[in-house]
Amino acid sequence: MADSLQNKVALVTGAASGIGAATALALAKNGADVIVNHLRCAAEAGALVGKIEELGRKALAIDCDVSKHTAVSEMVKLAVEEFGRIDILINCAGVTADAVIWKMSESDWDSVINVNLKGCYNLIRTVSPHMREQKFGRIVNISSINGMRGKFGQANYAASKAGIIGLTKSTARELGKYHITVNAVAPGMILTEMMKHLPEEVKQKALAETALGRLGVPEDVAEVVAFLCSDAARHITGEVIKVDGGQYM
């Protein structure tokens, strides 16, 4: 898919590390210019911008809390002023605050829902008018297999990721006539920096669930996202693609 995204502009949220960073690089390797959204991760985002620019692509890091609608509007305005358009939106920003439901605080519920689910709404709501006007767009939302099956101690996270699936399917129906595709990718356990610090027994349990006998890495997800953004996936919309090594099937 080399240069399959030539002359395209992508906005990736939560791009300072993990799946977001890998996705931003994958899109750049395929020809896209990239807006790197982050929240208080200036050093990491700046390093990623440097890597993208080394690939000959244009990049810009923007610090923005995706749970805040006004802040998102300002970020999108700046991105359009700088790049002229937004062709691709990747909603990757996400947080966790795990607890069993009878111990989960209201603030833990709200923070996860506001970033993971409302953040997707804020970005799609703000970017879609630009995509409608240009009659083209690719939107990929990062969900999770735990949004499909549930997870002990993650009622807030699972609910947010399940909500992303419903949001994906609804907006795919609404935006399709404007040649905008909307899909979701649902990773299993991926060895990001955050996950590497999980107790070994947790990682081993997830590993035992997989059919392939390996845990994923961010690039496994990023390559699927890049495919969904390419013209090769022009007839795919409203889908949820698991990238989990057979962890949930």
Residues with catalytic function: 157
Distance of CA 61 to the CA centre of its chain: 16
106: exposed, middle or buried (C-beta count within 10 Å: 0-12, 13-18, 19+)? exposed
Token pair listed for 192 = 């990001």
Q: Which residue has the tokens 């506001």?
A: 114
Between the alpha carbon of residue 240 and those of residues 56, 142, 144, 154, 193, the distances in Å are 32, 9, 9, 20, 25
| Strand ranges, E, within the chain | 9-12, 33-38, 59-63, 88-91, 137-142, 180-187, 240-243
Q: Do the strands 9-12 and 180-187 form a parallel or antiparallel pair, or are they unpaired?
A: unpaired
Q: What is the largest CA-CA distance in the chain?
A: 51
Token pair listed for 173 = 């129906």
CA-based angle 107:111:112, to the nearest 5?
120
How many Cβ atoms are within 10 Å of 209's Cβ, its own excluded? 17
CA-based angle 221:166:150, to the nearest 5?
70
Closest to 188 (Cα-Cα) out of 145, 225, 224: 145
